[in-house]
Amino acid sequence: MSTVQEARAKLGEHFGVGGSGKPDRWEALWADGSFIPWDRGLPNPALEDLLKDRQDLIGIPKEASDTAGKRKKAFVPGCGKGYDVLLLSSFGYDAVGLEVSETALKRCLEERDKHGDKYAVRDASLGAGKSNFVAGDFFSNEWTGSAGAEQFDLIYDYTFLCALPPSMRHQWALRMSHLLAPDGHLICLEFPLSKNPNLGGPPFGLQSKVYVQHLAQPGLDIPYNAEGYIPEGVTYPDNPAALKRAAHWQPARTHEIGKDQDWISVWHR
């Protein structure tokens, strides 16, 4: 067994069936601290390249003419140690990282305090945005107020959808559609695309089609076949709440574990 397979087997054992939908199971791993195999120690270079090179798609974090300094708000659910949150703020977004684990949030603050120099401001004329780390369950309104009360211009999902049991994917899509501002963009760094969904998780194997189908029908509990795939040939009526895929490409750089396999999709209303 490869190291990756070993780690995945151990994660599967820790969580059991459906266990990764239970917040306390994540906190148990973070609190112990000896086994957090998803942690890569740095922001994903795919996100960095996107923020640098695809302003045609996602716009800019702040208009230079906006002297009041109103910045776009970015959001990273299940942010782990917060690397991608700190990256987003270095690019000029006011960035919020959400974690259900209190211990992970402490690690985020440590990363910011001890390694803040790794996240130098990218554009002096824009400056850095704030970074804020929030405790809460993605699915709960406790940290947002009522549904739709809190919205973000940019949302980044990496290793969050795959962390959830497949039975929660329709709720993930609904929540994303509520959290996305009217002109906002959802960035999904699709991972793991090469893992057979029959092998369980987390991380649960995904296909690009999973994002397409769920985001087209936020909240609809789409059926899967016995092999864990969305069956071919099932169509649904147009849904006014649908998120549409604005772009889909294979990033030149990503974390080693997703090399030559990860894709990026960017979604809007």
CB of 57 to ligand SAH, least distance (A): 22
CB of 20 to ligand SAH, least distance (A): 7
User: Quick check: 104 binds ligand SAH (CB under 6 A)?
Assistant: yes
Q: Applying CB under 6 A, which of residues 144, 159, 177, 265 lies at the interface with ligand SAH?
A: 159
Q: Which is nearer to ligand SAH, 86 or 126 (CB)?
A: 86
Angle at 101 between CA 20 and CA 222, to 5 degrees: 35
User: Quick check: 78 binds ligand SAH (CB under 6 A)?
Assistant: yes
Mask 112-141, x = binds ligand SAH (CB under 6 A)?
-------------------------xxx--
Helices (H) and strands (E) in the chain, counts: 8, 7
- Give the C-alpha separation, 107 to 111, whole Å: 6
CB of 182 to ligand SAH, least distance (A): 24
Q: Which stretch binds ligand SAH (CB under 6 A): 94-102, 121-129, 192-200, 245-253?
A: 94-102
Check if the beta carbon of residue 88 is closer than 8 Å to that of residue 15. no
User: Quick check: 39 binds ligand SAH (CB under 6 A)?
Assistant: yes
The alpha-helical segments, DSSP class H, found in the chain are 3-15, 23-32, 45-53, 55-58, 83-90, 102-115, 169-179, 208-216
- For helices 102-115 and 83-90, angle between their N-to-C axes, nearest 10 degrees: 50
> What is the three-class DSSP state of 156?
strand
Q: Which is nearer to ligand SAH, 21 or 129 (CB)?
A: 21
Longest dimension (CA), the chain: 56
Provide the binding-site residues for ligand SAH, judged by CB under 6 A. 23, 26, 38-39, 77-80, 98-101, 104, 137-139, 158-160, 163
